[in-house]
Amino acid sequence: MDKKYKQGLISIITPVFNGEKFINDSIQSVLSQSYENWELLIVDDKSTDGTESIISNYLVKDKRVRYFKNEINIGPAGARNVAISNARGSYIAFLDVDDMWIKDKLQLTLDKLDQSKTPLVYTSYQRIDENFTKVGRKINIPLEINYRELLGNTAICTSTVLINREVTGDFLMEEVYYDDFVAWLNILKRYGAAVGLNESLTLYRVVGGSISRNKIKSAKEVWKIYRKSQMLSPAQSFKFLMFYMINSFKKYSRF
């Protein structure tokens, strides 16, 4: 480990930009967790709506909620890095502001992480529509995935992830379009395969205009990750991109 972390403490990383519509649901799902040794680090990336006012109410109610406000908008990767740099826990979890957890999410992923000795655990999840009026099918995941397999897969959903910093040490997100995907690739490449828990423990909200909706732009950005971040050849990049797009289509072909 690069520095001393608090054993057993899970640091939850939540960047937010103009999240007043969803942030109550997100925070409440953390407060309802059966595992209580956590800290929630919310980084407000210069929101212009009522996000700060909503968060301020929780700061009074629960000291485990910590708030950071950026003076300028620096994007999701930068906001996550602010939180990670201030995180005190030996474990790192990610919860995007429009997603929610089932009450045993932290406990079950922590148990799995400790049992498997892997650097990273991820879980199955279900999609919900923007107004939480429709819950989609369970998205099944592989029970294990290594670096090469992840190159052509979309199996790891950010809000399902739990990372053991006793294995990985300090890490930060790269300033790229899919900073989360690159982070998982780098961790698996260096520290070994991730383990999946095929239980639906996260509700992933599908919001109109989210970056994962534009498939052409998504493909271009994934190609950049292969070529620039992972230093793959054009032939390798093309092969993995085909697998990536097929797996993405399977996942999103029906709600």
Q: Which one is predicted more confidently, 115 or 4?
A: 115
Q: Which one is predicted more confidently, 208 or 224?
A: 224
pLDDT at 111 over 80: yes
Query: In this prediction, what percent of the chain has a pLDDT beyond 70?
Result: 97
Mean pLDDT, all residues of the chain = 94
Three-class SS string for the chain?
A: CCCCCEEEEEEEEEEECCCCCCHHHHHHHHHCCCCCCEEEEEEECCCCCCHHHHHHHHHHHCCCEEEEECCCCCHHHHHHHHHHHHCCEEEEEECCCCCEECCCHHHHHHHHHHHHCCCEEEEEEEEECCCCCCEEEEECCCCEECHHHHHCCCCCCHHHCEEEHHHHCCCCCCCCCCHHHHHHHHHHHHHCCEEEEEEEEEEEECCCCCHHHCHHHHHHHHHHHHHHHCCCCHHHHHHHHHHHHHHHHHHHCCC
**pLDDT range class, residue 215, cuts 50, 70, 90:** confident
6-206 topology per CATH: Spore Coat Polysaccharide Biosynthesis Protein SpsA; Chain A (3.90.550)
Q: Tell me the pLDDT tens digit for each residue of 152-196.
A: 999 999 999 999 999 999 999 999 999 999 999 999 999 999 999
